[in-house]
A and B are shown apart, each in its own frame.
Chain A
Amino acid sequence: MVPLSWYIIVGSVLFLIGVAGVLFRRNIIVVLMSIELMLNSVNINLVAFSQYMEDLRGQIFAIFTITVAACEVAVALGILIALVKSRGVHNTDEIDTMKG
């Protein structure tokens, strides 16, 4: 049997890769993929804990997370299409009309 800590380590490594991807990659599609990676690392955590504690709550939570992640990507891609149509940009550092 694979011990719990292995899952948690995989989860945190994936999470950190996702964070690094959001912070350092310029292409918006890649940034969105990195966000997906973060959300899926959370799913690994939830399911691993759920299995370990023999409690179904975590698995239910993971299903909800997957659903919400799908909605979020749908909205994000819709906005990205609007952005590409109006400006023809694909990179995060090109959306700089306003300096936040």
Chain B
Amino acid sequence: MMPGIKDILMILPEIVVAVAACVLLMVEFLCRKGERTIIGVFAILTASVAAAISLYLMTTDYMGGVAFSGMFILDGYSTMFKLIFYLATILSIVISFYYTREEGIKGGEYYTLMLFSLCGMMVMASGRDLLTIYIGLELMSLPVYVLTGFLDRDKRSVEGAMKYVILGGFSSGILLYGISIIYGVTGSTELTAIARAFGEAGGLTPVVGLAIVGLICGFGFKVAAVPFHAWTPDVYEGAPTPVTAFMSVGPKAAAFAIFLRVFTEGLLPVYEHWQVLVAVVAVATMFYGNIVAIVQTNIKRMLAYSSIGHAGYALLGLLPATNDGVASVIYYMFVYLFMNMGAFAVVVFMRRASQSGELIEDYRGLAKNHRALSLAMLVFMFSLAGIPPTAGFVGKFYIFMALVDKGMVELALIAVVASAVAAYFYIRVVLLMYMKEPVRTHLTAESFGVGLVIAVGIIGAIVLGVYPGYLIDLIQRVSALV
């Protein structure tokens, strides 16, 4: 069957992003050396145009339809995730302007790679076939590997990239092996056909168990779940800070998008078999991330472990395999977008001249010197810790409610204990800023862009906490999977 105009229209946002990225690669040669900001501006424009098209498509009849013989689906679920990706890309490009100038990063392909990664994430969210999902996954990851190694003066950057690419290749090998077994058992790679085949066959054979383990390994690596988290701290520390912000929000949300879709759509008939495995992984992830974060001295590493911990909470939202669970994870990803992007924007704001802004000690007594900046960091830390009335609290609340509705009260209680542990290291940063005397003056960025992202983060982290109704209703209305 030939793809028609309908298929092209449904995939238009992806086409716009991919074509614009290719064109920008060429435009870069027309720019004078060092004048690469314009590429970033065009990248932001591209993401905005694609966002507008996605929002427009939501109002058309194409919604809920499949394109390219079932390879691709345009539904509310994928559109919600795409909004997260657009926002993550735009916000990280905005903080990149200052950071690349400060660090002397020249290449304009920096922004183009982000667009390619964005395109991969969008394909993942809309993938309805393991083939599309895998291609999207690699299209998302490969540019991020390169972006991680972009700071060629810093040893840690290239080292992080090398570790990332080796472990990433290893995990996608395991994921592919799982996919090949699923193909062999069910005779298809399309999620609905897989669900049908599993439903008819019923029962767990050792082979299916192996396939489930393969998928959990592959997806677990991308969301940084224990025991596949080993790359996270090194990569987060080594990568340029805006790239760390980008990959802690965008690719992580994209990995959750496929995790949820594959497990609640394709593997729903074997629910009882993967449920225990995912529960063990989620609990281990929450506790490991939150406990190891306590001893960190580098704030990027601390946020890396915090990101591992948050992956654990979000994985819990997968366990009920209900629409409420799915909606709670999407809401959590929105919340995480604002608070984490904001926290990394503060780290970028502290990067100035000789001050790396990466050590937690750099924040000692910040409140005496920079009242507004420390207040912003306070909001983000409270939100990450899940203290009301911030958005982090509401996000966790919805996930726990989805668990309780399905009768998994024990898991919800365990998660509450894990959040209590987490509160310690977030509040430690706040105490250091407010209760200690500064040992030296703090340098900060004089950048409107970074300040803007911090402001957006604060607004998101507070509005989604105080007034969650509109967004959660919208998500619940449009993003039913089961």
Residues of A within 8 A of B (CB): 8, 11, 15, 18-19, 22, 28, 31-32, 35, 38-39, 41-42, 45-46, 49, 53, 55, 57-58, 60-61, 64-65, 68, 71-72, 75-76, 78-80, 82-83, 86-87, 92, 95, 97-98, 100
State the Cβ distance, B214 to closest chain A Cβ, in Å.
10
27 contacts between A and B (CB under 8 A): A22-B170, A35-B169, A39-B172, A39-B176, A42-B173, A42-B177, A42-B179, A45-B177, A45-B180, A55-B187, A57-B188, A58-B183, A60-B131, A61-B131, A61-B180, A64-B134, A68-B138, A71-B138, A72-B168, A76-B169, A82-B152, A82-B158, A82-B161, A83-B159, A97-B159, A98-B159, A98-B234
A15-B177 in contact given A76-B169, A80-B162, A98-B238 (Cβ < 8 Å): yes
B163 sits at the interface (CB 8 A): yes
Query: What residue of chain B has the Cβ atom nearest to residue A40's Cβ?
Result: B173
Within 8 A of A (CB), among B112-144: 130-131, 134-135, 138, 142
**What residues of chain B lie closer than 8 Å to A53, measured between beta carbons?**
187
For B146, the chain A residues whose CB sits under 8 A away are: 75, 78-79
B3 to chain A, nearest CB (A): 15
Structural contact, A87 and B142, CB atoms closer than 8 A? no
- Chain A residues whose CB sits within 8 angstroms of the CB of B230 once the complex forms: 100
Q: Are A45's CB and B173's CB within 8 A?
A: no
Asked if B135 and A68 sit within 8 Å, CB to CB, the answer is: yes
| Cβ contacts under 8 Å, A95 to chain B | 159, 162-163
Please indicate the chain B residues that have their CB under 8 angstroms from the CB of A46 in the complex: 180, 183
The answer to whether A72 and B138 touch across the interface, beta carbons within 8 angstroms, is: yes
Question: Dominant SS at the A interface?
Answer: helix
Smallest CB separation, A95 vs chain B (Å): 5
CB–CB A49/B156 < 8 A? no
Residues of A near B159 (CB, < 8 A) are: 83, 87, 95, 97-98
Chain B interface residues toward A at CB < 8 A: 130-131, 134-135, 138, 142, 145-146, 149, 152, 155-156, 158-163, 165-166, 168-170, 172-174, 176-177, 179-181, 183-184, 187-189, 230-234, 237-238
Measured CB to CB, the nearest residue on chain B to A95 is: B159
- Given A45-B177, A98-B234, output 11 extra A-B contacts at Cβ < 8 Å: A8-B184, A19-B174, A53-B187, A57-B131, A61-B189, A68-B138, A72-B142, A75-B165, A83-B159, A97-B155, A100-B234
A96 to B173, CA, bound (A): 24
Taking CB atoms, residues of chain A closer than 8 Å to B189 are 57, 61
Partner among A28, A42, A75, A80 whose Cβ is within 8 Å of the Cβ of B176: A42
Q: Are B156 and A98 in contact (CB under 8 A)?
A: yes
Q: Looking across the interface, which residue of chain A has its beta carbon closest to that of B298?
A: A98
> A35 touching B177 by the CB < 8 A rule?
no
Contacts of A80 in B (CB 8 A): 162
A28 touches B152 (CB 8 A): no
> In the complex, A14→B237 CA distance in Å?
34
Closest residue of A by beta carbon distance from B304: A100
Q: Is the CB of B158 within 8 A of A98?
A: no
Residues of chain B within 8 A of A92, CB atoms compared: 166
CB distance from A7 to the nearest CB of B (A): 10
Given contacts A61-B189, A78-B146, contact A86 B166 (CB under 8 A): no
Question: Complex Cα distance A60/B181, Å?
Answer: 16
Closest 3 CB pairs of A and B: A38-B173, A45-B180, A100-B234
CB contacts (< 8 Å) of A60 on chain B: these are 131
A2 to chain B, nearest CB (A): 16
Q: How far is the CA of A9 from the CA of B237 in the complex (A)?
A: 41
Q: Given the complex of chains A and B, what is the CA–CA distance between A70 and B237 in angstroms?
A: 28
